[in-house]
Amino acid sequence: MRYLPFGSTGAIVSELGFGGIPIIRLTTEDAVRVLKRAYDRGITFFDTANSYEGSEEKFGSALSGVREKIFIATKSKKRDGKGVTEHIELSLKRMKTDYIDLFQFHQVVQEKDWQAIIAPGGALDAALEARQQGKVRFIGITSHGIPTALKAISTGEFVSIQFPFNFIETGAAESLLPLAQKTGLAFIAMKPFAGGAITDASLAFKFLRSHPYVLPIPGCDSVESVDQVSSFYESPNTVSEEDRRAMESIADTLGKEFCRRCEYCQPCPHGVSITLGMTYQLLASRMSPRVACGYVTKALETIPRCVECGACLPKCPYNLPIPDMLKKHYALFREHRKLYHNEQN
């Protein structure tokens, strides 16, 4: 494992990170075992979020004993100052730490969210105050939309950008990644497996390692998966023509029904939460159906409002059959919810 500068912050982190979603579905005991294994394998960058059920607490249980040797990143979806302050305090408590290395604004895509964050007395001001108080070292932002990400970078307020990057979602390579390099921002690659759509880990990391400026944060739910992913970094990276053809084939196949979460389709005139509806199948595979149901119930219950008006279709840059996919994913959600309720009873 190599250790590299985290952008221009002066911090040094492992070239491979750890994403905190999959440990949601593990018991605390199992999650602690996985996290400690990641640390033992040389991983020092750990990323989670306030909204990842139980993840921050598991980070605290596993990593508080090596706190000074690791770099912890978390996130908040709050857009107001009070909410961000509360979330920072909650994250500190959950992770048993006095400071957060990287606090990130979570999933900023739409203009209304961006304006709320940068408004006087808003979320950014609260994060800056927390940084002044020593509760936060650095501030970053995560997004699924290129325009918003570019706008955020141009402000000079952030030390990092976290964005989807894998051999299916390559849009960042054209504009976002070069600009991050030019301005000294760290680039954190979320969704290295395209949210679970890529099942060939070796192929996924052959692509990622061919971009040495990128810090991938795969989520692992077992000691074996930690060992597998970290083992890719034990030898030089090579990408053959056969590998490239395999990547192209997978991307072409998934492209027909793969939502990139860019949110260009929103807002829906009927109030349908399109993005979460479009991504529910992958979300359930990553979080487990039980956790996913609880996580998105409110959003998924808006899907029956869809009248197939077609307003979303021309907005989708990938020409996805949005109403059909929403119907299919809503049916899956109802199956999962029924199973969950049966378990409770």
Strands 214-216 and 45-47: unpaired
The answer to the question of residue 254 being in a domain is no
The answer to the question of residue 176 being in a domain is yes
267 has pLDDT over 80: yes
Q: In this predicted model, what pLDDT tens digit does every residue of 131-164 receive, in sequence order?
A: 999 999 999 999 988 999 999 999 999 999 999 9
Are residues 222 and 124 both part of a single domain? Answer: yes
Are residues 278 and 151 both part of a single domain? Answer: no
Are residues 183 and 75 both part of a single domain? Answer: yes
The answer to the question of residue 260 being in a domain is no
Are residues 175 and 114 both part of a single domain? Answer: yes
Are residues 111 and 231 both part of a single domain? Answer: yes
From residue 269, alpha-carbon distances to 91, 211, 216, 317 in Å are 35, 40, 36, 19
Are residues 222 and 306 both part of a single domain? Answer: no
Q: In this predicted model, what pLDDT tens digit does every residue of 211-245 receive, in sequence order?
A: 999 999 999 999 999 999 999 999 999 999 999 99
Mean pLDDT (whole number) for 294-320: 91
Q: In this predicted model, what pLDDT tens digit does every residue of 32-89 receive, in sequence order?
A: 999 999 999 999 999 999 999 899 999 999 999 999 999 999 999 999 999 999 999 9
The answer to the question of residue 264 being in a domain is no
d(CA 302, CA 297): 9
Which of 245, 263, 297 is the last residue in one of the domains?
245
Which structural domain range is residue 76 located in?
Answer: 3-245
The answer to the question of residue 263 being in a domain is no
Its sign, for the CA torsion 334, 314, 195, 272, is negative
Which of 225, 245, 265 is the last residue in one of the domains?
245
Its sign, for the CA torsion 28, 34, 38, 40, is positive
Q: Which residues pair with 75 in a beta bridge?
A: 104
Are residues 85 and 173 both part of a single domain? Answer: yes
- Global pTM value: 0.85
Q: How many independent structural domains does the chain possess?
A: 2
185 has pLDDT over 70: yes
The answer to the question of residue 259 being in a domain is no
Neighbouring CB atoms inside 10 A of 320's CB total 19
d(CA 46, CA 172): 22
Are residues 183 and 82 both part of a single domain? Answer: yes
Which of 245, 261, 282 is the last residue in one of the domains?
245
The pLDDT value given to residue 253: 81
Six-digit token pair at 273? Answer: 């939460």
The answer to the question of residue 262 being in a domain is no
Are residues 280 and 189 both part of a single domain? Answer: no
Are residues 201 and 102 both part of a single domain? Answer: yes
Alpha helix stretches (DSSP H) within the chain: 28-40, 55-63, 81-94, 111-118, 123-132, 146-155, 176-183, 201-209, 223-231, 241-254, 274-278, 280-287, 289-300, 322-344
Are residues 143 and 198 both part of a single domain? Answer: yes
The answer to the question of residue 120 being in a domain is yes
Cβ atoms of 22 and 286 closer than 8 Å? yes
From residue 253, alpha-carbon distances to 117, 247, 249, 256, 258 in Å are 37, 10, 6, 6, 9
Are residues 225 and 285 both part of a single domain? Answer: no
Who has greater pLDDT, 295 or 124? 124
CATH number of the domain that residue 230 is part of: 3.20.20.100
